[in-house]
Structure 1
Amino acid sequence: MRHDSGIERRPTAVPGPRPARDEGEGEAPGPAAAPARPWWRAVPASRAAIPLLYLLAAFVLYHGLWGGPARHYLVDSGSDQTQFEWFFAVAADNVTHLRNPLFSGLQNAPLGVSFMANAAMLGLSVPLTPVTLLFGAPVTWALVVTGGLAATAWAWYWLIARRLVRSRWAAALGGAFCAFAPPMISQGVAHPNFLVLFMIPLIVDRALRLCEGRRTVRDGVVLGLFAAYQVFVGEEALLIAACGMALYAFGHAVADPDAARAVARPLLRGLGIAALVSVALTAVPLWWQFYGPQSYQGLLHGDTGNHPMALLEFATRSLAGDERIAASLSLNRTEENAFFGWPLVVLAVVIVVRLWRQPVVRALGFTALAAAVLSLGKNIPLPGTDRTLPGPWRLAGELPLLDSVIESRMAMVCAPALGILLALVCDRLAVRRLRSERERSRRLLGWAALVVALLPLVPTPYRTVERAPVPAFVADGEWREHVRPGRTLVPVPVPSPVHTDALRWQVVAGLGFAVPGGYFNGPWGPDRTGIYGPQPRPTSDLLAKARETGEVPAIGDRQREEFLRDLRFWKADVLVLAPDDRSGPLLRAVNRLTGEQPAYLGGVWVWDVGDLWDGTGGEG
């Protein structure tokens, strides 16, 4: 997805210019060398300062969470923060009780949820089990997004400094852009699987080592291990990264065919080894994902390409962003996947033209352009008209796996491509010797252009709000007197991607009860097409309609029969409605369905319905 530099024309060559060593670095000291200094003195100040600056920047963005993770919520995340906290909590619970880590029956009862078919991030949630158990899932969430963002920036910095530039501060700028670019910041409000990408630079570096042809087997094995781990952190991110790397490889092969021929054999051999290793490690989880319980084929999301103007405008969370304009050009605030701003786009074109002789620059320019065009989707709107043009995603989107990708996310490939271009030009400005007043003027102009292009894109802190308190009926454990083992608690309305309060109830209640419905990806219909949320049932649809319209739907004998069938399917023991300003129609609807008045317990309305369907009391 990302890059290498000009490759020498022999298979064992290092792909790309090596940055100059720091002053004082050299070969290993001989016997007469001075004693080694303590590590904290041996590390240059820049090496220590750069990761700390990344961590500070990430903390500033997420500081609203750290004031009280259990109380604070990222307001623009919709239901996604709740979903990921649920994944973290259930993963820790599965590890603690030695349950299947790939599945849970706590949502979507009685069918359950496949973790491999969802962005459960097992590669982080499982190792962070002690954090979740000691401090709670909200702290794990805050740690993942904050630490993951900083770690991703540092990983890109490491790759750029190692492979492409001499100035560490130029590499630091490039790494910062790769991680803090507008698309990544947009995803960071709700989708840590697209924010925590520290493995991608490591994967790129290992692929570049394969090009050197020196230790193909070892490097192929390590690459396979890295790819396998990334599967458990973010599969879709790995797929998009692989597309970006393929675009770059094609662009570099066209720019420097001799180098491509020189590295083709060791690269292909190493990739084959990596594929064998990663498949061996992920075969069972991937089988579970595609053929196991609650697996699905494809995922419905419609045409979600970027508008061309989104590439030139500014994102909601950018310093120069306009919330209204960004909303008109994107799916939602979590999917502002372009928004690089016209100054940076202009600067990128200038950089590519100015450094055109370098194959790496031509390849990076092609990668950014191709990814941007792919991100426009199947139908590319012509600005200022009602017409569209057919986009290349019409072909790409038909390929296996890519049919489930939200195509606007392909623009995320542009972030590292642009970040490396920025690092290259910054390196030239920082280390090039000035021989005339004219060159000094050009350097000042270059720095000014960088400021003009990047300052509007500086991200602003994420907004947080106070969470609504969990009802005492759940928080104090009163639910235990109403839900028997093997039965479920049914929130009203039934949990869905829009209504996720019950997932937080479960976490607060120690995951002691299961609920029907929920927020996850699962199958629908005989073709097992992927959808967001559970398969609809008559009662869940009826209650959702009452919530949305504010009116009680018609309820007769048919609706009551369907209600009893759904209670039986869900193995429901109790229905629970938390009162708010829109709960009146729901209260009346459930009263008509049950033929009973609820009890008001622990701040919620409660209907005990187990006897209505199991043959011990009422009908059913």
Structure 2
Amino acid sequence: MLSRRFVRSRLAAWVGALFATFAPSMVSHAGGHPNIVSQFLVPLIIWRTLELRVPGKAIRNGLMLAGLLVWQAFINLEILFMTAVGLGVFCVVMAVVRRKQHRGESLAFLRGLAVAGVVALGVLAYPLSVQFFGPQSYQGLTLYVRNFGSDLGAFVAYSSRSAAGNADVAARLAQNPAEQNSFFGWGLVILFLGLIIWMRRTAVVVTLGAVAILFAAMSLGPKITLNGVNTGVSGLWSILHHLPILDSAVPTRWALAIAPVIAIVLALGCQRAADLIKAQPQSRGPVRVAMITAVAMALVPLAPTPLETVKMDAVPEFVTAGTWKQYVDDDHTVVTLPLPDSSYSDPLRWSAYTGQDMRIAGAYALLPNEDPQNPQDRTATFAPPWRPTSGLITSIKQGNPTPTINDTRREMTLADLRFWKAGVVVLTPQTHDIEILRTFSDLVGFRPTWTGGVWMWDVRNLVDDPDAEVTADSAG
């Protein structure tokens, strides 16, 4: 896209494209967010949006853009939203700048945009209505997540997955390894600003620079932090994060959208250097050395290192052999110890292995808050409501002492199993598994059976019988 629509030099296009593909933010998200790094449609959306200004092709161009928008919506709406904001700002500014020389472009653009909007919204109306208003829909992220802003110091630092990176520094400046969105390093920041100044007479470049600065400001979050210290200064996001739709965005991810902007400016800068060499052959040597040196100093330290990987535990035979089918139906689920969450996701893989036919209790997902004391609060949580038994098992796995098991705890466990509609409870070999096994056996009153690589408790009688009880005697 760069070589066909923005620059003539293939080398300039490769410089921009390689940075966009392997930017530190892309590499960090590759460790856990495949839908975020799947941005192959973004260049096409940018291209087809700019093509809307061609007169006489409103329907064709609008339909092509609509198709891309619908496709991207089913990959990741957050990336689509950030792309739309960046393109919106860019197109509005350019329309104002070029209004006298290209008056017909704006009208053609609006016609094509109307076609794209009507078609895309028509196709997406139902899925979007389910997402925002359907069952288990939520209304904005919690304030805790909305405070996930980029550290101002991160913009000139290097991510943990960059050649020049330092894991300890990156950990101090980012919420987690998958959210190192703004780590560009001193070299690239200086080069980017230098290219903006060098090409300041080009409206496209200046506008791109303004878009990058806007995204950087939005990524800082409600309160600006510098090298891990809250400065107490309110950021631009403090005004925006209460607005609908924006209240569902993670502020630090706005820095993700800076990478393609920088990529385009890098390509344009390399093209300007190539044009200067052609126009002034006598300056070929100094210009070439200066450009190669500047690009190398900016990008070589950002070269990605291999992603950290760990070997996953095999899916137990209890799942692969279909043994679970004896216990799961429309009224029963599999309960794993501990329940799946962001730190223990194996049961999610098991369910995926069965095509999600194996219904499990628990999840790692965005769900509406269910606070009985505040039923109007429907902000998102990352797991189902806390239950006493799941909290106890998680605590034991973390190495905390096992509390005394009494009849009150047994009654709470019985209530939890009924809440989860448990048919069978399973435990795989893992850290502190013996302590978990003994504790849960004491809670339900009987020992598990080892089958298919799991310890298994068949709890259907406890769950289905409203008069069933678990006491110290039965647990004996």
TM-score (norm 2): 0.91
Aligned counterpart for 2:252 among listed residues 396, 408, 411: 408
For residue 73 of structure 2, what is the aligned residue in structure 1? 231
1:551: how far off? 2.0
Q: Is the 8 A contact 1:320 1:457 kept in 2?
A: yes
Deviations 1:223-278 (A, max 9, x none): 22221121111111101111111232344356555458653322223222211111
For residue 569 of structure 1, what is the aligned residue in structure 2? 419
Structure 1 counterpart of 2:398, which letter?
A: E
Structure 2 counterpart of 1:244, which letter?
A: G
Aligned with 1:316: secondary structure?
coil
Q: Is the 8 A contact 1:186 1:333 kept in 2?
A: yes
Say whether 1:551 aligns with 2:395: no
Rounded to whole Å, the distance in 2 between the matches of 1:540 and 1:519 is 14
Aligned with 1:252: secondary structure?
helix
Aligned with 1:377: secondary structure?
coil
For residue 280 of structure 1, what is the aligned residue in structure 2? 122
Deviations 1:73-122 (A, max 9, x none): xxxxxxxxxxxxxxxxxxxxxxxxxxxxxxxxxxxxxxxxxxxxxxxxxx
Greater Cα offset, 588-597 or 342-351: 588-597
Say whether 1:201 aligns with 2:51: no
Q: Is the 8 A contact 1:523 1:535 kept in 2?
A: no
Aligned counterpart for 2:174 among listed residues 312, 330, 352: 330
Say whether 1:191 aligns with 2:36: no
1:556: how far off? 3.0
For residue 278 of structure 2, what is the aligned residue in structure 1? 433
Rounded to whole Å, the distance in 2 between the matches of 1:377 and 1:343 is 24
1:508: how far off? 3.9
Say whether 1:619 aligns with 2:464: no
Rounded to whole Å, the distance in 1 between the matches of 2:362 and 2:287 is 61
Rounded to whole Å, the distance in 2 between the matches of 1:590 and 1:364 is 59
Q: Is the 8 A contact 2:340 2:362 kept in 1?
A: yes
Aligned counterpart for 2:351 among listed residues 490, 506, 529: 506
Deviations 1:363-390 (A, max 9, x none): 1111111111111111112459652311
Aligned with 2:398: secondary structure?
helix
Aligned pairs for 1:13-162 within 5 A: 158=1, 160-162=2-4
For residue 598 of structure 1, what is the aligned residue in structure 2? 448
Rounded to whole Å, the distance in 1 between the matches of 2:96 and 2:315 is 59
Rounded to whole Å, the distance in 1 between the matches of 2:448 and 2:26 is 47
Q: Is the 8 A contact 1:546 1:553 kept in 2?
A: no
| CA pair 291-436 structure 1, distance change in 2 beyond 3 A | closer
Q: Is the 8 A contact 2:223 2:230 kept in 1?
A: no
| CA pair 260-562 structure 1, distance change in 2 beyond 3 A | farther
Kindly, what percent of the aligned residue pairs are identical? 39
Rounded to whole Å, the distance in 1 between the matches of 2:463 and 2:367 is 27
For residue 247 of structure 1, what is the aligned residue in structure 2? 89
| CA pair 269-333 structure 1, distance change in 2 beyond 3 A | same
Unaligned runs of 5+ in 2: 471-476
| CA pair 376-616 structure 1, distance change in 2 beyond 3 A | closer
Structure 2 counterpart of 1:272, which letter?
A: A
For residue 473 of structure 2, what is the aligned residue in structure 1? none
Rounded to whole Å, the distance in 1 between the matches of 2:162 and 2:196 is 25
Higher relative contact order (CA 8 A, sep 6+): 1
Structure 1 counterpart of 2:248, which letter?
A: S
Say whether 1:535 aligns with 2:377: no
For residue 515 of structure 1, what is the aligned residue in structure 2? 360
Aligned with 2:278: secondary structure?
coil
| CA pair 373-260 structure 1, distance change in 2 beyond 3 A | farther
Q: Is the 8 A contact 1:193 1:237 kept in 2?
A: no
Aligned with 1:298: secondary structure?
coil
For residue 105 of structure 2, what is the aligned residue in structure 1? 263
| CA pair 510-617 structure 1, distance change in 2 beyond 3 A | farther
For residue 131 of structure 2, what is the aligned residue in structure 1? 289
Aligned with 2:361: secondary structure?
coil
Aligned with 1:297: secondary structure?
coil
| Aligned-pair Cα RMSD in Å | 2.3
Structure 1 counterpart of 2:394, which letter?
A: A
Greater Cα offset, 538-547 or 380-389: 380-389
Deviations 1:553-574 (A, max 9, x none): 3433333222222222222121
Aligned pairs for 1:409-424 within 5 A: 409-424=253-268
Say whether 1:366 aligns with 2:210: yes
Structure 2 counterpart of 1:413, which letter?
A: A
For residue 342 of structure 1, what is the aligned residue in structure 2? 186
| CA pair 612-297 structure 1, distance change in 2 beyond 3 A | same
Rounded to whole Å, the distance in 1 between the matches of 2:407 and 2:96 is 70
Deviations 1:166-223 (A, max 9, x none): 1122112212212221111111221122211122222211211112233122212222
Rounded to whole Å, the distance in 2 between the matches of 1:511 and 1:239 is 29
For residue 396 of structure 1, what is the aligned residue in structure 2? 240
Rounded to whole Å, the distance in 1 between the matches of 2:402 and 2:417 is 20
For residue 42 of structure 1, what is the aligned residue in structure 2? none
Q: Is the 8 A contact 1:251 1:367 kept in 2?
A: no
Aligned counterpart for 2:300 among listed residues 428, 445, 455: 455
| CA pair 511-366 structure 1, distance change in 2 beyond 3 A | closer
For residue 318 of structure 2, what is the aligned residue in structure 1? 473
TM-score (norm 1): 0.70
| CA pair 323-259 structure 1, distance change in 2 beyond 3 A | farther
Q: Is the 8 A contact 1:216 1:270 kept in 2?
A: yes
1:437: how far off? 4.1
Rounded to whole Å, the distance in 2 between the matches of 1:534 and 1:570 is 11
Rounded to whole Å, the distance in 2 between the matches of 1:384 and 1:298 is 26
| CA pair 478-442 structure 1, distance change in 2 beyond 3 A | same
Unaligned runs of 5+ in 1: 1-157
Rounded to whole Å, the distance in 2 between the matches of 1:417 and 1:304 is 22
Rounded to whole Å, the distance in 2 between the matches of 1:176 and 1:533 is 37
Q: Is the 8 A contact 1:348 1:418 kept in 2?
A: yes
For residue 68 of structure 1, what is the aligned residue in structure 2? none
Rounded to whole Å, the distance in 2 between the matches of 1:217 and 1:425 is 34
Rounded to whole Å, the distance in 2 between the matches of 1:254 and 1:485 is 59
1:455: how far off? 0.8
Rounded to whole Å, the distance in 2 between the matches of 1:254 and 1:322 is 44
Q: Is the 8 A contact 2:335 2:360 kept in 1?
A: yes
Aligned counterpart for 2:201 among listed residues 342, 349, 357: 357
| CA pair 258-330 structure 1, distance change in 2 beyond 3 A | farther
